[in-house]
């Protein structure tokens, strides 16, 4: 028996924002202070299966989340990411967009950002 999708019936007290087609919440396993998620309400696994309206609804909430995080946590920058499919690291098969605040000094060298999923290819600026 598989576990129920945590994004299809989220706890009401965990919701930050919502609109007709999407919802937003803080990440239950944050990688930095303010890490949040924007999620379509319809259970679908891939960003590429969303309708244009659903994508717009998710992006609207991503903007609102950013405003909230800036006000509360005052980060220096953001990573925005989607793990689309198991081979990309997706662990909940319901598409969701991560908004990950970044802070000065949170990594020794932040250059390359998401490229570090393949460490041997990340530091392209050092290649001869």
- CA–CA gap between residue 107 and residue 100 (Å, rounded): 13
Q: Which residues are catalytic, by number? A: 96
- CA–CA gap between residue 52 and residue 72 (Å, rounded): 30
Grouping H, G, I as helix, E, B as strand and the rest as coil, residue 93 is coil
Q: HSE (CB half, 13 Å, CA atoms) of 114? A: 11
- CA–CA gap between residue 42 and residue 23 (Å, rounded): 10
């Amino acid at each position: 028996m598989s576990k129920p999708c945590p994004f299809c019936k989220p706890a009401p007290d965990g919701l930050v924002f919502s609109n007709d087609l999407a919802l937003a919440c803080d990440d239950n396993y944050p990688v930095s202070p303010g890490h949040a998620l924007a999620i379509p309400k319809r259970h679908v696994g891939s960003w590429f299966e969303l309708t244009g309206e659903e994508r717009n609804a998710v992006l609207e909430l991503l903007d609102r989340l950013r405003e909230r995080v800036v006000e509360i946590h005052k980060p220096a920058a953001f990573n925005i990411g989607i793990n689309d499919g198991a081979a990309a690291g997706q662990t909940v098969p319901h598409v969701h967009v991560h908004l990950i605040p970044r802070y000065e000094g949170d990594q020794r060298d932040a250059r390359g950002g998401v490229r570090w999923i393949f460490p041997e290819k990340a530091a392209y600026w050092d290649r001869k």
